[in-house]
Amino acid sequence: MHGTKEKADAAEGPENKDASPLPAILEHLTAERARLRLPKLRRDRDAFDRLATATAALPGVQAVEANPLTAGMLIRHGGDFAAIAVAAKAAGLFSLEEAERAPDMLKELRARMKHLERGLRQHSEGALDINSASFLFFAAVGAVQLARGRVAMPALTAFWYAMNALRTTSFDEARPKGRKKRKKR
């Protein structure tokens, strides 16, 4: 941990010869601490120690904990991290960058389910959608479990899923089967 005792020693900086600040990703920020990720320094203990020592010397920084194995740095501060980030960039230490957004797994799953739903409707000529197919599948599983004498959880669970499949709405906003939109005359 790099604290206030080392601030005087750190005035010279992290020996960043090209003076371009390292890219840092802000992972977590509260009123008292900030967690950064510096991927370029991963596993470089000496460089991380120099950066942590120089960061500890910045105004408003109370303590710094660095972990070169995870490329993480925890900065405990007095409240205004934005000012610390500006000072760090000016000193050539680090520059905050936007983190890459993780893919939206639910959005991707919905898109795949819509594609599956369209295919199911097309191949069944509109007779089946995801919900009706789910109902038939889980009802069949429930019937098989019931026939095997497993009346407790497996059969009941399958029937529960079948009922929920009927209650939920379709992934595709197609018109209900059998109803055609009529034109006004």
Task: Please tell me the predicted confidence (pLDDT) of residue 153.
Answer: 63
Provide the CB-side half-sphere exposure for 118 (13 A, CA). Answer: 6
The CA–CA distances, whole Å, from 160 to 104, 140, 148, 155 equal 28, 12, 18, 9
Residues 109 and 79 in one domain: no
SS3 state of residue 180: coil
Number of domains the chain contains:
2
Query: pLDDT, tens digit, for every residue of 7-51?
Result: 333 334 444 445 688 889 888 888 899 999 999 888 989 989 999
Domain end among 59, 80, 97: 97
Q: Is residue 8 part of a domain?
A: yes
Residues 22 and 89 in one domain: yes
Query: For residue 12, what are the domain limits?
Result: 4-97
Report how far residue 120's alpha carbon sits from residue 129's, in angstroms, rounded to the nearest whole number: 6
Q: Is residue 65 part of a domain?
A: yes
Residues 64 and 122 in one domain: no
Q: How confident is the model at residue 62 (pLDDT cuts 50, 70, 90)?
A: very high
Percent of the chain with pLDDT over 90: 23
Residues 93 and 9 in one domain: yes
Residues 120 and 82 in one domain: no
Mean pLDDT along residues 81-88: 91
Residues 6+ apart with CB under 8 A from 110: 171
Q: How confident is the model at residue 156 (pLDDT cuts 50, 70, 90)?
A: confident
What is the residue type of 142?
A: G
Residues 113 and 163 in one domain: yes
